Amino acid sequence: MAEVLPLKKQHRKLTPIKIVQRAILITIGALLMATGLEIFLVPNNVIDGGVTGISIMLSHITGMKLGIFLFLLNLPFVYLGYKQFGKTFAISTIYGIIMLSIFATYFHPIPPFTEDILLATIFGGIFLGIGVGLVIRNGGALDGTEVLSIVLTKKLPFSVGEIVMFMNLFILGSAGFVYTWDRAMYSILAYVVAAKAIDIVVTGMEESKSVWIISDEATEIGDTITHRLGRGVTYLYGEGAFTGDDKKVIFCIITRLEESKLTTIVEEIDPSAFLAIADISEVRGGRFKKRSIH
C-alpha cells in the first residue's frame, strides 16, 4: 500500500513513555494489516498495491510464506527512508515491518473468515488501511513504494503521486496474469478501500478547515462566529488591489462539522462576502480544540 510519509525534520528526543506508546500502536497497526492480508485478501487471491502486492504474488508463485517476502523486499526501502526521513522513521519502519512479517507468518495457517470475495475485499481493505494508517500516524511505514517514488521524482519529470499511481497500476494489473482478471479488479477495489481507510485514520473523521472571510461586516461576522461556534478568530488587514480600499480579513479554524453553520452565519450577515474554505491536515497550538456538534 503506497503511503503518505512524513517530511524529514529535526525534533526533540522521544520520552520513554512516548516510545512505548508508539511501539504499541505500530504493533497494533502491523497486526491489523496482517489480519487484512492473511485472513481476508490472500486466501481469496486478492492483492494490495506496492511492495505488499508484489510480495503476495511472489508468495503465491513460489509457495513461500508471505512474511518472508514482506520483510526482504522492504529492507532496501528502510535504508532509503533513513536517508530521506531520518533515523526515527527508519527505526519505526523496520520495527513495523518485522512485526508485520511475524504476524503474517503466524496467521498464514488460519482459515479465512469468509470466502465471499466481495466481503473479503472490503473488510480486507478496511483492516489493511486502518493498520497502515496507525503506523503512518506514529512515524513509520509498512510499504516502501512511496519512499522509492520520492527518490525517483528527483530524477524523473513526474510527481510522487504519478509515480505511485503508475507502479500500482502495473502491480495490480499483474494480478490478472497471476490469478484472473476478476481478481485483478477486486484487487483494485481493495486498494481503493484501503486508501480511504488510511485517509480516515491519518486525518481523522473531523478534519480541520481553514477559513478566510473578506467582508465590510467583518466585525459582526467575527463576533457571531465566536459566540455561536465558540471559535476564536483573527483579524488581518489588507488592501484591495483594484479599489485600493482597506479590507478587514477574518481568519479562523473550524472542523468539517462546523462548516455548514459558518457558511450560514456569513450568508445571514453579508451574502456578498468573499468566503474561502480549505482542508488542512493538522492544527497545533493556540486554543483550538475539536469538539462535537450537538
Contact of 41 with 190, CB cutoff 8 Å: yes
The amino acid at residue 84 is Q
Residue type, 237: Y
Give this prediction's pTM.
Answer: 0.70
* Pairing relationship of beta strands 246-255 and 274-279 according to DSSP bridges: unpaired
Check: CB of residue 273 under 8 Å from CB of residue 215.
Answer: yes
Determine the Cα–Cα distance for residues 171 and 119; give it in Å rounded to an integer: 22
Q: Up-side HSE of residue 58: CA atoms within 13 Å toward CB?
A: 16
- Rounded Cα distance, 41 and 119, in Å: 10
Distance of CA 190 to the CA centre of its chain: 15
The one-letter code for the residue type at 3 is: E
Strands 234-239, 274-279: pairing is unpaired
109 three-class SS? coil
Cell triple for residue 264? 450560514
Q: Strand (E) positions, the chain?
A: 208-214, 234-239, 246-255, 274-279
Alpha-carbon distance of 22 to 14, in angstroms, equals 10
Domain edges within the chain: 16-203, 208-279
If one counts every other C-beta atom within 10 angstroms of the C-beta of residue 287, the result is 6
The 8-class DSSP code of residue 289 comes to -
Backbone angles phi, psi at 208, to 5 degrees: -80, 160
- b/e code 140-153 from CB counts within 10 Å (16+ = b): bbbbbbbbbbbbeb
Q: What is the pLDDT of residue 160?
A: 58
8 Å CB contact between 106 and 39: no
pLDDT profile of the chain (294 residues), mean per 10: 48 75 93 94 89 90 89 87 80 91 90 90 94 86 77 72 77 86 91 85 73 93 90 87 82 84 91 90 63 43
pLDDT of residue 217: 92
208-279: which CATH number, 3.40.50.1000, 3.30.70.120, 3.50.50.60, 3.40.190.10? 3.30.70.120
Q: Which strands, in side-by-side order, build the sheet including 246-255?
A: 234-239, 246-255, 208-214, 274-279
Q: Measure the CA–CA gap between 56 and 38, rounded to whole angstroms.
A: 10
Grid cell of 4 as nine digits: 503518505
Contacting residues for 116 by C-beta, under 8 A, at least 6 apart: none
